[in-house]
Amino acid sequence: MVKVVIVGGVAGGMSAATRMRRLDESAEIVVFERGAHVSFANCGLPYYAGGVIEDRDELLLQTPESLGARFRLDVRVRSEVVSIDADARTVTVRDLESGNTYVESYDELVLSTGASPIVPPLPGVERALILRDVEDVDRLVGQMETARSAVIVGAGFIGVELAENLRHRDLDVTVVELADQVLAPLDPEMAAPVADRMRQNGVNLELGTQLTRIDATTADLADGRTVPADVVVMAIGVRPETALAKMAGLKLGERGGVAVDDQMRTSVPHIFAVGDTVEKHDAIGDSAALIPLANPANRQGRLVADVIAGRPVHARSSSGTAVVGVFGLVVTATGWNEKRLRAAGRPYRAIHTHPQSHAGYYPGAQQMSIKLLVDPETDAILGAQAVGGDGVDKRIDIIATAMAGGLTASDLADLELAYAPQFGSAKDPVNMLGYIADNLRTDSTRTVQWHELDTLVADGASLVDVRTADEFAAGAIPGAVNVPLDELRDRVGELPAGDLVVHCQVGQRGHTAVRLLGQLGRPAANLDGGYKTWDAGRRVNAPATVS
């Protein structure tokens, strides 16, 4: 009979424990959890804080009693493992209720200690809250009962979720973010609509600055301004919780997480690690990465149980697919973004589209924005982002699945996806990305990016807007000449000499114009994503006000 000790519950730890029981009824399985709850919906914490989830008990998925009854697990909450003796195969445990310590033996040990929130050493920071477990959200809800304002430090996934939910509680919310955009996994032009939506819903965004001090009811910014702050929540990010691993002599990786192989084995025999505490293998960079997401943690928990049970399984690389809701917007990403590719010096090709969520003639279609990043040599998909309403999550999941299956960007054109007018289009937005990728791969068209346009114009290129006169009058890129697409054949002689860049609203008419002009002896490039993408990029650092 094997004895498995698991340190830490929630996603990775409890997935390992329950899977282990399903595989081996005779195993002795002990779970130590430092907190009061071993299985809870941590991704639901912001929504309980905002009152969207009304019943606190809905967050509590399992209890030690229920896990004992169904899976015969020995779950001990408020029990902190303080040291590991790898040679003796024992752990020392402190009972946080009594303060007593004792020693527990193991045959196989699984560390699922997670990641801890980053809290900078600011004056007054002891007043700031974090949001990691149920006790944290209880403290937040308690403070909100008498609060009128809140400051959230960090505009990542948790930060923007909290901003929405605290606005739902009618608090005046300020989000302070050191970067010049919200949601770092997005590129700037994709993040701009998210920032717009947050401001439209009353969130004060302080981008490109940081907190320097927290006082009783206010907080100071680096530029000297003060913002109201009855409640302060730190949502800067997390780092792997590795103190126990380091004490046990486990090797850490280059990113600071526990180093594991593809069977979740650490550098010390009979000790495994899973979840947010470990480094994953990045599917795009073929390197170590920190990816603190629920899906990989759950998958690794199941996998480590399989390994302990003797099954020949191996972890796959991770692309970090994620989704967040922001005041009705659905925001998604997978793989690498353009910023990261440029920083790594890796060649790429970018594609922007702005399709409808389903057939435009069927009521209720919503526009979305999609960005696909492609290796120009191999046509491999390097990453994608999508922002919009209905159907955005479906599209990013299709792309993430295509990446996992090794499909190229051009292969997306051939995916046979479910279609009815209320659900999609005969040429689904994912198919359209494949068509564009194939056009670029075969040199059927040439595109330029929104951030390249100023340089091209400065070097002498002329910009031709092929939208209608009414569209042009409603808003145009400075210096553009308006020649509507339907008049282009007859007016080609009016176009300026030299290099041409054409654009429309979202890119589709621009592509048609490029094909036409090329056959009329005037080669041109299409502004990828059209006016809509250029406008979003232009607004990244523009001054903005709160509605």
Residues tagged active-site: 504
d(CA 484, CA 467): 5
With beta carbons less than 8 A apart as the criterion, state whether 17 and 73 touch: yes
Counting DSSP H helices and E strands in the chain, the numbers are: 16, 31
Distance in angstroms (rounded) separating the CA atoms of residues 368 and 429: 9
* CA dist., res. 14 & res. 71, Å (int): 11
What is residue 53's three-state secondary structure? coil
Distance CA 463, CA 439 (A): 22
Q: 239 by DSSP, 3-state: which? A: strand
SS (H, E, C) 447-466: EECHHHHHHHHHCCCEEEEC
In angstroms, rounded to a whole number, what is the distance separating the alpha carbons of residues 172 and 218? 12
Tokens describing residue 475: 């808003």
Tokens of 149: 């304002």
In Å, the largest CA–CA distance within the chain is 89
Side-chain half-sphere CA neighbours of 102 within 13 A:
9
Write the CA distances from 428 to 86, 216, 331, 355, 405, integer angstroms: 54, 53, 19, 9, 19
